[in-house]
Amino acid sequence: MRISKDDKSTSVYNVIMNKSFMVFISIIAGIGAFSACTPTQQPVQSESINTLVPIEETASQEADLIAVPTATELPYLIYPLDFSKGTAFCDEEPAKSPFSLSCAEGALTISQTESRRKTDIYLLREEPLSSGRFSLTADVTSHPVDIEKLDQNQFGFYFTKPDGTSHVLRVQGQYINFEEWKITDGVEVVSAYNKTYTPALYSAGHINNFRLTCGWDVCDLFINDTLAARLPFGTGNGISALGFFTASAWDQQFGSITLTNLEAIELPGGLPELQHFYLMDDLSDDHGIFSQMGLSGAFSEFEEDGFHFSPVIPYGYYAAKSGPSLADISVSVVINMDINPEMKATQYAGVVCRSSLEGKYMAVLRADGTYTIFRDTIQRPFALLAQGQLEGIQPGRSNNTIRLDCIEDTISLVINNKLVESFTDSRYGLRYGRWGLFTKAGGAPYSDAIIFSDFSIEEIR
């Protein structure tokens, strides 16, 4: 089994999802299926082939009648759109708009006009409504200007609250991020979370299915039936509109976006809030945390004692990261490697939190019995935040548990159940992202250099 160098991963196999929501969906689906299965009545046999004998209704016959339930219509907020002219999503753009829009054959297609100027541009379409919690689904296909180059098209979904604040999912290529907007004469991005890589997204030219399920406090984003991210905001006291948008930066080119199968339903008021995300894996076998793509320059094998993972390139770095993307988490793992406090060592192993395009936090245990916490960003790669010598660590081959807590702007490191570092850090705004494992090889790497086991990740709310 190999781990992808490109950060690719699949969703965690044991995400704890809300059972009430699943029952709610199952009931709705079951009603529709049952209503189509009306029982067939048997023909009445007369006593004589030439004589029709009237049959009197009796109490027992009435008791035997089967009541066929009527199919209940889903509580639609946005009905499955036919994208015909006259609907809110198919209103024509003004003559001087930088975007052109067309609706035909059940699809909405948006592209930029030839007269577009070099400015940031947005196109917004929304449905005014009043709702609490909801689930929105849609299929989107992005066609870049040049299929051989990076997809620069931007699009996404948003919901607006009565106070005018909008919460937004933005997609570009295989990256997603979440923003807060103020929409007046234009779009003002008030704040934005970090852009995170999402391997669940198919490449340009392929249909991607999105499902955004929002409760009072959080929203879950499913992409192609994979939990890709949990948004750290929800509907609060309710929403006043649901919408779809496209965007393009002044120095980028926009090809076209096709939207199909858009619909939204209101979730029942008694639905419990989505539970915390939690995962635990002993790493003795491939349970789908990481992808099965080939890994260049690293050992990566699941065995009975754990996940053997170490770069084979001398002094090389490597990480195996996974999702869904989260904000506040606690990530922990048991590390087995040779410890020698008497020798200076470059080899280390540890964990990662809030990994995004903008950077990540890393906490590692070194082979010389010391620990280090880094903040790795574009502005300052591998910035040293804390380091120290571990007391009482056993020399030789041993197991040591390392846990990194990233909660709001507080970063804490716990090793062997002892808090060794805790501090605040808000520089460069690393507050959201993926998580996983991290290693650096020594001078003579080998397959059993580092063994990870008992990996866990817990969302903190």
pLDDT the model gives residue 65: 61
Say how far apart CA 196 and CA 431 lie, in whole Å: 11
Beta strand extents in 132-204 (DSSP E only) = 134-143, 154-160, 165-172, 175-183, 187-192, 196-197
Query: How confident is the model over 394-414, as a mean pLDDT?
Result: 94
**How crowded is residue 200: how many other Cβ atoms within 10 Å of its Cβ?**
23
pLDDT band, residue 386 (cuts 50/70/90) = very high
% residues pLDDT > 70 (the chain): 81
% residues pLDDT > 90 (the chain): 59
Closest by CA position to 168, among listed 226, 111, 229, 112: 229
DSSP 90: G
Say how far apart CA 203 and CA 437 lie, in whole Å: 26
Are 259 and 356 a contacting pair, CB within 8 Å? no
Say how far apart CA 412 and CA 402 lie, in whole Å: 11
Using a cut of 0.85, tell me whether the model's pTM lies above it.
Answer: no
pLDDT band, residue 81 (cuts 50/70/90) = confident
Query: How confident is the model over 39-63, as a mean pLDDT?
Result: 43
Q: Give the β-pairing of 370-377 and 359-366.
A: antiparallel
Closest by CA position to 421, among listed 392, 387, 391: 387
Q: Point out the least confidently predicted range of 14-23, 223-232, 333-342, 403-412.
A: 14-23
148-to-143, 145, 151, 204, 441 alpha-carbon distances in Å: 11, 9, 9, 9, 35
As given in the structure block, the two tokens for residue 386 are 């804390």
Query: How confident is the model over 152-162, as a mean pLDDT?
Result: 96
pLDDT, averaged across the chain? 83
pLDDT digits (tens, 9 = 90+) for 171-200: 999 999 999 999 988 899 999 999 999 999
Are 308 and 300 a contacting pair, CB within 8 Å? yes
pLDDT band, residue 140 (cuts 50/70/90) = very high
Q: Is the pLDDT of residue 57 over 60?
A: no
Torsion of CA 199, 200, 202, 208, to 10 degrees: -150
Closest by CA position to 438, among listed 326, 328, 355: 355
DSSP 384: E
Say how far apart CA 59 and CA 151 lie, in whole Å: 70
Say how far apart CA 307 and CA 436 lie, in whole Å: 13
pLDDT the model gives residue 28: 39
413-to-70, 328, 331, 357, 398 alpha-carbon distances in Å: 58, 14, 10, 23, 19
Burial class (CB in 10 A: 0-12, 13-18, 19+), 249: middle
pLDDT band, residue 66 (cuts 50/70/90) = low
Q: Point out the least confidently predicted range of 74-83, 109-118, 383-392.
A: 74-83
Beta strand extents in 153-276 (DSSP E only) = 154-160, 165-172, 175-183, 187-192, 196-197, 207-214, 219-223, 226-231, 239-248, 256-266
Are 445 and 264 a contacting pair, CB within 8 Å? no
As given in the structure block, the two tokens for residue 111 are 């592209």
pLDDT band, residue 208 (cuts 50/70/90) = very high
As given in the structure block, the two tokens for residue 70 are 């009527």
DSSP annotation string for 407-445: ETTEEEEEETTEEEEEEE--GGG---EEEEEEEE--SS-
As given in the structure block, the two tokens for residue 287 are 């349970």
